[in-house]
Every structure is written in C-alpha cells, then in structure tokens.
Amino acid sequence: MHMFDRDRRFYGGNAIVGGGLPLALGVALADKMTKRSSVTACFFGDGAVDEGEFHETLNLAELWRLPMLFVCENNRYAMGMAVERAEAETDFVRKAASYRIAGEAVDGMDVVAVERAALNAVERIRSGGEPYFLECRTYRFRAHSMFDAQLYRSKGEIEAWREKGPIERLQKWLEDNRIIKPEELAQMEREVDEEIAEAVAYAEAGALEPVSEVERFVTMERVPS
C-alpha cells in the first residue's frame, strides 16, 4: 500500500479510501502545465466510488481536460458491502459519463482483454487530450482482511469465481497460442518464489528505524540559507 518510486513515476497507494484520486489529479495537472507527454493512471476500487473525491476528481479531470486514465477495479464487494446494496447506479461507466468522460467496462479476470482495453484507452487519451474511464469487473477471492468473516457471500460463489481466475486463464491462453512452454512457466514460478523468499528474508533481517527518525518527513525540513 505504501510503496513509492518517484524515478519510475509510481506514486504509491493510499490508506484512505479514494485518497489517491485527487493526488493523481495533481500529478496529471502538473504534467499538463509543464507540457509533459505523460498519462496518469489512477487505480481505485468500487468502494472509492462512494467517496466525494471520486466525483470531484472526475469533474475536474474533464473540466481541465487532463491526460488521466481512471481504472476502477470493481470486485463487487469493496470491504464487505455488495455493490447492489451500496449503489443506486451499479454501472460505473455511466457514472463517468455523467461527467462527460468516455469509458468502457472490461472483463477484469481476462488479462489479455484488460491489456487491450488499456492500450486503446491510453492511445485515445494521448490523441484526444482528455480523460478516459476503465471499469475492470473482477472478484476478490480472499477476505478483505484477517478480521473479515465473509458473511456477505457464500463459499459456492467464491469457488465459482475461482474457475475464472486470471492467472490460470492467462497461462492457458499463453500455452494454447504457443507463446510459452509449460517448462518455461515452471521456471518462471521458481524464480519468482526465490525472489519473494529473498525479499522476505531481507525484510526480517532488517533493523527497526531509530526513535529519532519518527518525525522525519512529517513536516518540511528547514533548508540552510
């Protein structure tokens, strides 16, 4: 959630639901004002659509015609509330259209379909100079947190969606189209497992930050004159 890499223009997640939307708007506005040819992709879930920041950001993005790609990862439940119980309008593309932002819904469980839609969206943003909205209709297999008893859905529903798992579908697509061999996939999985194990070991071996650093980056440090 709190990963950040300015050199790669990855401005991280946000613990506040919908909090990343206005931040992404600021990045896109800065790009336009400094005449950078960048597209800002802003990712958020269906729960964020309830927040005021969602509506404020979409309004300003279209009003100022900013190069933004809004990607809504609609997993149907947010933290634990079904979309149908929380939204009077469950078609989020129509919500975007109310701000005159074009968009489309895509099968978020299909990696290839999402890639194709994203490439088309970015091309449209670059050529038209205005925002675009992409609703990826997907599903969360696991609980939202370790305290989530998942009383809002059945085990049968979860298992039915697991059959549409994007990783398995992509693997089958790659093999069916002879893009990759099973042994190559197996090798890739081993390398990823090793990379994760190394990262975990590095983190567990690390020392805690000293107390003297607690307030660092909370406020701007004075620059010597």
> Among 48, 104, 59, 53, which residue's Cα sits nearest to residue 81?
48
Q: Tokens standing for 205? A: 């071996």
The set of residues, in sequence order, having a beta carbon less than 8 Å from that of 180 and lying 6+ positions away, is 174
Average pLDDT along the chain: 94
- pLDDT the model gives residue 35: 94
- C-alpha 135/C-alpha 138 separation (Å) is 9
Phi/psi at 151 (5° precision): -75, -5
Within 10 angstroms of residue 87's Cβ, the number of other Cβ atoms is 16
pLDDT in tens, 28-38: 999 999 999 99
- pLDDT the model gives residue 67: 97
User: Per-residue pLDDT averaged across 155-179, rounded?
Assistant: 94
Read off the pLDDT band of 206 (50, 70, 90).
very high
The set of residues, in sequence order, having a beta carbon less than 8 Å from that of 80 and lying 6+ positions away, is 144, 148, 150, 151, 152
- Lowest mean pLDDT: which of 1-5, 155-159, 198-202? 1-5
User: Per-residue pLDDT averaged across 31-47, rounded?
Assistant: 95
Query: Is the predicted pLDDT of residue 15 greater than 90, yes or no?
Result: no
At position 8, the amino acid (one-letter code) is R
Query: Is the predicted pLDDT of residue 122 greater than 90, yes or no?
Result: yes
- C-alpha 18/C-alpha 79 separation (Å) is 13
At position 40, the amino acid (one-letter code) is T
